Amino acid sequence: MRASVGDRIVINGHRVGEPDRDCEVLEVRGQDGGPPYLVRWGESGHESLFFPGSDATVAHPAGAMN
Amino acid sequence: MRTIDGVRRSGVGIGPERTIRDAAAIMEQAGVGSLAVVDGERLLGIVTDRDLVRRGLARGVPFDARVDSVMTPPVVTIAADADLHDAFGLFRTHAIRRLAVVRGAHFVGMITIDDLLVDLVGDLADLARPVTAEVLFAHRDSPVPATA
C-alpha cells in the first residue's frame, strides 16, 4: 500500500452489517509512501499507528494525483 | 504462503503512555478488539478489549492510567516471512487467539484464529464443491465398449 498525507484509508467491515471505518493519514512513517501511518480516526479525533491489512484501501482526496 | 500474506485485518498500534480511555476509543473507532502497544514500531505488548475489562475496569484502574499497565507482555510473535502453517503450531501451543506479526522487533500486523478459520472454511468449500456435485448429479458412466 502507498499513501500520502491527507489520504483517507477505508477499512472494510468484516461481518455482515458491520460498517466500514475510515481514518485520515497524518504522517507516513514508512519509505516511499509505505506503512505504517500515523492516522486520525473520524469522530473521536484519536490518533494511532496504522498497519494496513488486506481489508484496507486508500482513497485519495478529490483532485489529488496518484 | 507467508504469514504476512495471511493477514486479513489491519493492525492498529498505540504508544505505551496513552491512556486506557484512548485505547478503548481507538478500538471502537477502528473496529478492532486488540491494539499493539508500540514504542515507535517496536512491539512492547498487546492490549485487548478483554484486558481493558478484566485488568482495568474490574480492578478499579482509572481510565487515565497508562495502557501498558493492562497490556500483555511479552507477546507471542511470528515472523512476517514465516510459513503460515507455523502460525497454526503457535496457536495450538500457546492457546492464544491473536498472534503479532513482526519484522525483526517491529510490529507489522496481527493474525487471528478467526482469519485462519475463514481461510480454511473457504478451502474446504472449494474442495467439497466437486464432491457435492458428484453426489447430487451422479455421473452417467459411458458404456464400456463392446469387445469381440
Nearest residue to A30 (alpha-carbon basis) of B112, B30, B110, B106? B106
Indicate whether A54 belongs to any domain: yes
What chain A residue is nearest to B7 in terms of C-alpha separation? A53
What CATH number should be reported for the domain holding residue B95? 3.10.580.10
Structural domain for A37, as ranges: 8-59
What CATH number should be reported for the domain holding residue A46? 2.30.30.440
Q: For A51, which of B8, B10, B22 is closest by C-beta distance? A: B10
Measure Cα distances from B129 to B71, B73, B76, B140 in Å.
44, 43, 36, 18
DSSP-assigned states of every residue in B87-100: HHHHHHHHT-SEEE
Q: Does A54 touch chain B (CB under 8 A)?
A: yes
Query: If DSSP codes are grouped into helix, strand and coil, which group holds residue B55?
Result: helix
In A1-66, beta strands by DSSP E: 8-11, 21-28, 37-41, 47-51, 56-59
What does the pLDDT look like over A6-41, one tens digit per residue? 999 998 877 767 778 889 999 999 999 999 999 999
Structural domain for B22, as ranges: 3-136
Q: Which of residues 7-36 of A touch B (CB under 8 A)?
A: 11, 13-14, 18-19, 21, 23, 29, 35-36
What does the pLDDT look like over B35-93, one tens digit per residue? 999 998 899 999 999 999 999 999 999 999 999 999 998 789 999 999 988 998 899 89
Q: For A53, which of B11, B31, B35 is closest by C-beta distance? A: B11
Please tell me the pTM assigned to this model: 0.82
